[in-house]
Amino acid sequence: MPLQMVRNDITRMQVDAIVNAANPTLLGGGGVDGAIHRAAGPGLLAECRTLGGCRTGEAKLTGGYNLPCRYVIHTVGPIWRGGQQGERAALTACYRNSLQLAVEQDCETVAFPLISAGVYGYPKAEALQVAVETIEEFLQQQELTVYLVLFDRTVYTISEQLHREIAAFIDDRYVEAHTDSRAEQSRRIAIQQSCPEVFAAPMPAAAPSAPAVDPDLLQAVRQMDESFSQMLLRKIDESGMTDAQCYKRANISRKLFSKIRSDLHYRPSKPTVLAFAIALRLPMDQTRELLCKAGFALSHSSKFDIIVEYFISHGNYDICQVNEALFAFDQSLLGG
Ligand code: ADP
C-alpha cells in the first residue's frame, strides 16, 4: 500500500530509508533526532559532521549504521511561528526533497516521522495534513511505499465535530446490530416452539460415497456471475478513469493491481475492495455489490465497516480522510 499510517518507533522500521526531523546543525538533538542517533550509534554523527549542516526544507542523506534501514534522510522542518512565515511551504519542501532523495537512491520503502510536530511546534493536525497531501501528491508520479510513523494518538486531522459524528454513527449502528429486545427474543422462542422439527433437525448426513457430478450443477457452475476483477475493470471503464488513476486514488500499489487484473478469480481483502469502492465513488448499493463479488458484506457489528459506510453515505470519497478517521478509531486502513 503506497501510504500507510502506523504507530511505531521510527528506529524500528524495516524500510530502505527513514527520515529524521533534524536541526540545521545535523549534529543531533532531542525528540526523534535523539532517538535515531542513539539507535544508529556514533557512526551516524561522524558522517553528519561531514555534511556542513542543512537548511530548512532541504534534505541530506547518510547511511543507516546500526539501524535496520539502509539510509537516514535528514531534513530540517520549519519552526512554527504562527503560520504566516512560510511554514507550510517549508514543511512541504521537507517531504518533497526527502522523497526525491529516496527515489534517487532507488528506495522502495520510506518512513517519515511527523516533521516539525514536536519541539518545533507545528500544530499536529495541520502537520499531518501537509504530510498526507504532499506524500499523496508525490505518489501520483512515483511507485513507492511510504509509512507515516505517528507516535501520538491524538494526531487527528479529522475535526472534533467529525470525530463526534462518526462516534455517534457507530453507536447508532452498534445499537441496531446488537438490539435483542425481550419482544424479539420471545418471538424467536415462539417460532422455535411452533416448528421444533426445523430447529431440532440434525445436519443432513454426508453421502457415503461421492456422487457423480450432477450435469445441472456443472452447468450452473459454468454460468458463474461476473467475478470481482471483471466487475472492477468494468466499473473503471465506466468511470472514464484510467487503471492507474483508479489504483492510485485507491491507495493500491501497481503490483497488487496487476495481480487483480491478471487473475479473473482474484480474492481481494475487504480493505482493498472498499478502497476501490471509494476510488470509484460508488454509492452504497454498488459498494455492497462489489463487496459481495469478493465474498464480503458490510456489518453493523464492525466499527471498520460502519466508518466506511459513514463516509460513503455522506458522499465523502476522500480516501485520506477515510483513513484518518479509521486511524483515529484504531481500525485498519483502506488500501492494498
Ligand atoms: P521537530 O523538532 O521537527 O518538531 P521532534 O523530534 O520534536 O521534531 O518531533 C517530531 C515528531 O516525531 C513528533 O510528532 C514526535 O512525537 C515524533 N517522535 C518522537 N520520537 C519518535 C520516534 N522514536 N519515532 C517516531 N516518531 C517520534
pLDDT for 305-319, tens place per residue? 999 999 999 999 988
- In our burial notation (b when 16+ CB lie closer than 10 A, e otherwise), range 326-335 reads bbbbebebbb
Going by pLDDT thresholds of 50, 70 and 90, the confidence category of residue 281 is very high
Residue 111 Cβ < 6 Å to ligand 1: no
**Residue 213 C-beta-side C-alpha neighbours within 13 Å:** 6
Specify the pLDDT at position 191.
47
Q: Closest ligand 1 atom to the C-alpha of 9?
A: 24
Q: Which residues pair with 59 in a beta bridge?
A: 75
What does the pLDDT look like over 151-206, one tens digit per residue?
776 655 566 677 777 777 777 766 666 555 555 555 555 545 554 544 444 444 44
Strands 17-22 and 3-7: unpaired
Angle at 170 between CA 168 and CA 172, to 5 degrees: 70
CA of 115 to the centre of ligand 1 (A): 7
The CA-atom distances, in angstroms, between 54 and each of 11, 24, 94, 251 are 21, 5, 11, 32
**Rounded to an integer, what distance in angstroms lies between the CA atom of residue 102 and that of residue 95?**
11
Can you point out the beta strands (E) in the chain? 3-7, 17-22, 59-63, 71-76, 109-112, 145-150
Nearest CA to 96 out of 79, 120, 82, 115 is that of 115
Quote the pLDDT of residue 200. 46
Say yes or no: CB of residue 31 within 6 Å of ligand 1: yes
Looking at the CA of residue 30, tell me the nearest atom of ligand 1: 6
Distance CA 11, CA 68 (A): 8
Chain segment 14-23, per-residue pLDDT in tens: 999 999 999 9
> Which is the catalytic residue, given 9, 16, 33, 285?
33
Please return the burial class of 104, using the count of CB atoms within 10 Å of its CB with bins 0-12, 13-18 and 19+.
Answer: exposed
CA 270 to chain centre: 12
Strand partners, 278: none
Decide the pairing of beta strands 71-76 and 59-63: antiparallel
Cα–Cα distances (Å) from 218 to 208, 213, 222, 227, 266, in that order, read 21, 7, 6, 18, 21
Q: Ligand 1 in contact with 35 (CB < 6 A)?
A: yes
Strand partners, 109: 145
Q: Which of 115, 146, 108, 149 is nearest to 130 (CA)?
A: 115
The cell for 301 is: 457489528
**Rounded CA gap, 141 and 3, in Å?**
13
- CA-wise closest residue to 55 among 36, 74, 29, 83: 74
Q: Name the residue of 15, 32, 87, 120 whose CB sits within 8 Å of the most ligand 1 atoms, as the mutation to test its pocket.
A: 32
Q: What is the mean pLDDT of residues 142-148?
A: 91
Q: Is the CB of 118 under 6 A from ligand 1?
A: yes
Q: Which residue has the cell 518512513?
A: 111
C-alpha torsion sign, points 92, 97, 103, 108: negative
For this structure, is 152 an active site residue? Answer: no
What pTM was computed for the model? 0.67
Contacts of 99 (CB under 8 A, 6+ apart): 110, 135, 138, 142, 144, 146
d(CA 18, ligand 1 centre) in Å: 12
CA of 120 to the centre of ligand 1 (A): 10
Ligand 1 atom nearest 77 alpha carbon? 3
> Measured from the CB, is residue 143 less than 6 Å from ligand 1?
no
pLDDT at position 182 is 52
| pLDDT on residue 6 | 83
Q: What are residue 76's DSSP bridge partners?
A: 22, 56
Atom 13 of ligand 1, nearest CA residue: 118
CB atoms near residue 239 (< 10 Å)? 15
Closest C-alpha residue for ligand 1 atom 21: 32
Measured from the Cα of 21, ligand 1's closest atom is: 3
Among 7-21, 60-74, 222-236, the least confident range: 222-236
Show the cell assigned to 155. Answer: 494526531
pLDDT band at 333 (very low <50, low <70, confident <90, very high): confident
pLDDT, residue 255, reads: 87
* Highest-pLDDT range among 32-41, 167-176, 225-234: 32-41
